[in-house]
Chains A and B, each alone.
Chain A
Amino acid sequence: MTTQRKSMLTSAIVNRAVKDSFLKLNPLTMMRNPVMFVVEVGTLVVLLMTIFPGYFGTEGRVGFNLTVFLILLFTVLFANFAEALAEGRGKAQADSLKKSKQDITANKVTGTAIKQVSSSELRKGDIVLVSEGEMIPGDGEIIEGLASVDESAITGESAPVIKEAGGDFSSVTGGTRVVSDQIKVRIMSDPGESFIDRMISLVEGAKRQKTPNELALNTLLTSLTLIFLIVVVTLAPIAKYVGVELDIPVLIALLVCLIPTTIGGLLSAIGIAGMDRVTQFNVLAMSGKAVEAAGDINTMILDKTGTVTYGNRMASDFLPVKGTSIEELGQWAALSSAKDETPEGRSVLELMKTRQLSFPSQLAENAAVIPFTAETRMSGLDLPDGRKVRKGAVDAVKKWVASQGGTVPSDLDSTGEGVAVLGGTPLAVAVDNRIYGIIYLKDTVKPGMQERFEQLRRMGIKTIMCTGDNPLTAATIAREAGVDDFVAESKPEDKIALIRREQAAGSLVAMTGDGTNDAPALAQADVGLAMNSGTVAAKEAANMIDLDSDPSKIIEVVAIGKQLLMTRGALTTFSIANDIAKYFAIIPAMFMLAIPQMDTLNIMKLGSPSSAILSALIFNAVIIPLLIPLAMRGVAYKPMSASKLLSKNLLIYGLGGVIAPFIGIKLIDLLVHVWI
Chain B
Amino acid sequence: MDILQMIIVIGVLVLLVKPLGTYVYHVYSDEPNRTDRIFGGTERFIYRIIGLKSRDGMTWKKYALSFLLTNIALVAISYLLLRLQGALPGNPNKIGAMEETLSFNTVISFITNTNLQHYSGETGLSYFSQMAVIMMMMFTSAATGFSVAIAFIRGITSRGSTIGNFFSDFVKSHTRIFLPLALLITLVLVGLHVPQTLQPTVTATTLEGATQSIAIGPVASLESIKHLGTNGGGFFGVNSAHPFENPNPLTNVIEILSMWALPASLPYVYGRFAGNRKQGWVVFSAMMTLFLVFLATVYTAEVNGNPVLNNLGVDASQGSMEGKEVRFGMAQSALFTAVTTAATTGTVNNMHDTLTPLGGMVPLAEMMLNVVFGGKGVGLVNMLMYAILGVFIAGLMVGRTPEFLGRKIEPREMKLIAIAILVHPFIILAPTAIAFLTDLGQGAITNPGFHGISQVLYEYTSSAANNGSGFEGLADNTPFWNITTGLVMLFGRYISMIAMLAVAGSLVRKQPVPETMGTFRTDNVLFAGILVGTVVIVGALTFLPAVVLGPIAEHLTIR
Contacts and interface: CB of A to CB of B under 8 A. Distances in A.
B409 interface: yes
Contacts of B402: 213
Secondary structure of the B side of the interface?
helix
Contacts of B559: 597
Contact of A597 (B395, B397, B518, B557): B557
B556 A642 contact: no
Interface in B430-464: 430, 432-434, 436-437, 442, 449-450, 452-453
B11 interface: no
A603 interface: no
B526 A569 contact: no
Contact of B436 (A240, A507, A569, A647): A240
Interface string A586-612: 010001000101101100000000000
Given A216-B413, A235-B546, A597-B556, A227 B432 contact: no
A570 B519 CA distance: 17
Contacts of B521: 642-643
A669 to B, nearest CB: 20
B400 A654 contact: no
B526 A234 contact: no
Nearest to A244: B549
Nearest to B400: A296
Contact of A238 (B395, B400, B436, B520): B436
B526 A646 contact: yes
Interface stretch (B40-48, B51-59, B190-198, B414-422): B414-422
A236 B430 CA distance: 11
Secondary structure of the A side of the interface?
helix
A216 B526 contact: no
A292 interface: yes
Interface stretch (B73-81, B137-145, B307-315, B508-516): B508-516
B187 interface: no
Given A562-B400, A563-B399, A642-B518, A230 B450 contact: no
Given A231-B425, A562-B400, A642 B519 contact: yes
Interface string A142-153: 000000000000
A506 interface: yes
Interface stretch (A332-340, A426-434, A453-461, A614-622): A453-461
Contact of A645 (B393, B398, B530): B398
B396 A215 contact: no
B15 interface: no
Nearest to A504: B511
A234 B433 contact: yes
A640 B174 CA distance: 50
B290 interface: no
A169 to B, nearest CB: 35
B395 A569 contact: yes
Interface string B55-73: 0000000000000000000
A100 interface: no
Given A242-B453, A507-B514, A292 B425 contact: no
B428 to A, nearest CB: 9
Contact of B526 (A235, A238, A241, A647): A647
B413 A220 contact: no
Contacts of A587: 544-545, 548
B517 A650 contact: no
Interface in A536-587: 561-563, 565-566, 568-570, 572-573, 576-577, 579-580, 583, 587
A565 B402 CA distance: 9
A595 B530 CA distance: 35
Contacts of B442: 241
Interface centre among A239, A244, A457, A642 (most CB of B within 10 A): A642
A641 interface: yes
Given A461-B518, A565-B396, A645-B397, A576 B415 contact: no
Contacts of A561: 399
A508 B398 CA distance: 16
B288 interface: no
Given A295-B401, A601-B548, A230 B429 contact: yes
A650 B397 contact: yes
Contacts of A409: none
B514 A241 contact: no
Contacts of B433: 233-234, 236-238
A215 B411 CA distance: 6
Contact of A241 (B436, B511, B538, B541): B436
A101 interface: no
Interface in B517-559: 517-521, 524, 526, 530, 533, 537-538, 541-546, 548-549, 552-553, 556-557, 559
A220 B538 CA distance: 11
B421 A505 contact: no
Contacts of B397: 566, 569-570, 573, 645-646, 649-650, 653
A461 B516 contact: yes
Interface in A116-144: none
Given A507-B514, A587-B544, A220 B418 contact: yes
Interface centre among A213, A222, A232, A576 (most CB of B within 10 A): A213
Given A227-B425, A566-B399, A642-B518, A591 B553 contact: yes
Contacts of A601: 548, 552, 556
A457 B433 CA distance: 55
A601 B545 CA distance: 12
Interface string A242-259: 101000000000100000
A643 B524 contact: yes
B553 A460 contact: no
A295 B399 CA distance: 6
A237 B436 contact: yes
A580 B400 contact: no
A224 interface: yes
Contacts of A467: none
A459 B524 CA distance: 19
Interface in A518-534: none
A109 interface: no
A232 B516 CA distance: 43
B188 interface: no
Contacts of B553: 242, 591, 595, 597-598
30 contacts: A216-B410, A217-B396, A226-B422, A227-B421, A230-B429, A238-B436, A238-B453, A240-B436, A295-B400, A295-B401, A296-B401, A298-B514, A459-B399, A459-B518, A504-B511, A563-B399, A565-B396, A569-B398, A573-B393, A573-B394, A580-B541, A583-B544, A595-B553, A595-B556, A597-B557, A601-B552, A601-B556, A642-B519, A643-B526, A645-B399
Given A217-B414, A237-B437, 9 more contacts: A219-B414, A226-B422, A230-B425, A231-B546, A235-B545, A292-B401, A569-B393, A597-B556, A647-B526
Interface of B: 389, 392-402, 406, 409-411, 413-415, 418, 421-422, 425-426, 429-430, 432-434, 436-437, 442, 449-450, 452-453, 511-514, 516-521, 524, 526, 530, 533, 537-538, 541-546, 548-549, 552-553, 556-557, 559
* Nearest 4 interchain pairs by C-beta: A569-B396, A460-B518, A562-B399, A460-B516
